[in-house]
Amino acid sequence: MRAATTHDYGPGKRIWGHDYAITRTIDGGQQLKASGWGPGGARIQQGDYLLLQNGNRDTRYRVAEVEYCLDPADMWHATLDFAPR
């Protein structure tokens, strides 16, 4: 079993080709539906963590489900579960 990877979309990390949008907030932010692009290297996989911008800090979410688009190939849609550190 592979170790979970953390993908940083926190403050200062959101740039062209490496960004996201929250499309739905569930249960007060305990779960999110999000779409995004990137990362440029290893693809986001179920069980990985995303650090998302929360003001000038970041908040960690665990990837419950992720699906990639065919075009553009680095665009994804995901269900994320709040995962405080």
Predicted local distance difference test score (pLDDT) of residue 31: 98
Residue 9 C-beta-side C-alpha neighbours within 13 Å:
28
Residues 5 and 42: beta-carbon distance below 8 Å: yes
18, pLDDT greater than 90:
yes
Predicted local distance difference test score (pLDDT) of residue 85: 87
Predicted local distance difference test score (pLDDT) of residue 5: 95
61, pLDDT greater than 90:
yes
Average pLDDT of 12-32? 95
Residues 38 and 52: beta-carbon distance below 8 Å: no
Task: Please tell me the distance from the alpha carbon of residue 83 to that of residue 59, in angstroms, as a whole number.
Answer: 8
Which sign, positive or negative, has the C-alpha torsion 38, 19, 11, 50?
Answer: negative
Q: Residue 74: is it exposed, middle or buried by C-beta count within 10 angstroms (0-12/13-18/19+)?
A: middle
pLDDT tens, position by position, 40-55? 778 999 999 999 999 9
